[in-house]
Amino acid sequence: MDVKAWGLSNVGRLRGHNEDAFEIDPAGRLYLVADGMGGHSHGEVASTTAVKEIRRYVEAHGVRGAHPGGPGGRLLEAAIQAAHQRVLAAIRQDGALHGMGTTVVGLYLHDGIATVAHVGDSRLYRRRGGRLSLLTEDHTWVHEQIAAGYLSEEQARLHPLKNVVTRALGGEGSLKVDIREETVEAGDRYLLCSDGLTTMLRDEEIAERLGREQGAQEICRSLVHDAQARGGYDDITVVLVDIADR
């Protein structure tokens, strides 16, 4: 399986620092985006701590190590729980960090399986056969309102409470991680992104850009550029993963 990946992150216009973080591990075929929250620059502490710990955990354990023959789902679940504990430990050590947290979305490719794991409102899309699918479901208050029929997708996208996440690493209580496993197909294109992208661009607009005959680097640049052109108040992070046609 020939895989090409690229990532790009751009600080929003309201803050001087970027609270998003991403990781690309080409050897381990692990791709991560995290969107931190918290006062001062604590959001970036949370997001950076999380992606580094998940990568470290996956590198240390791998599917052949602590999880012999097991699905990547258990590995990613364990890695995200370890990252959650790492963020909580940082808060315990330094009271000033109280209230920090982070979302995370991860893609792990192994044995022809794409394992998707997420917490919060960072998303993963897949383009296959000309069609765009959203493989994650936002853990947000507005998403619950959509599910209950109180808000439309478009109302939710621009809602003042759209940033309220119902799950995050660093939050209180036990953490529930959503895991999904899908077969990988030649020509698949995966996009991991923070809500700084999806607040600014509609799904149809993301689909149009992912449909272009361009490489991962150019697509990432055009997504970030276009989201910024719309206002780009929030940090914008994208990671694009292309599976070769054959």
Binding site for Ca ion (CB under 5 A): 35, 194-196, 234
Q: Least Å distance between CB 163 and Ca ion?
A: 7
Question: Is the Cβ of residue 59 or residue 205 nearer to Ca ion in the bound state?
Answer: 205
CA distance linking residue 151 with residue 148, whole number of Å: 8
Q: Least Å distance between CB 35 and Ca ion?
A: 4
Q: Least Å distance between CB 158 and Ca ion?
A: 14
Of 23, 28, 115, nearest to 78 by C-alpha is 115
8: tokens are: 């790009």
Q: Least Å distance between CB 106 and Ca ion?
A: 17
Question: Is the Cβ of residue 44 or residue 234 nearer to Ca ion in the bound state?
Answer: 234
Question: Is the Cβ of residue 115 or residue 199 nearer to Ca ion in the bound state?
Answer: 199
Question: Is the Cβ of residue 23 or residue 35 nearer to Ca ion in the bound state?
Answer: 35
- Give strand pairing partners of 178: 118
Neighbouring residues of 179: CB distance < 8 A, sequence distance ≥ 6 = 73, 76, 77, 115, 116, 117
The string of DSSP codes covering 118-176 is EESS-EEEEEETTEEEE-----BHHHHHHHTTSS-HHHHHT-TTTT-BS--BT-SSPPP
Q: Least Å distance between CB 82 and Ca ion?
A: 23
Question: Is the Cβ of residue 110 or residue 143 nearer to Ca ion in the bound state?
Answer: 143
70: tokens are: 């097991």
- Give strand pairing partners of 126: 133, 190
CA distance linking residue 246 with residue 239, whole number of Å: 22
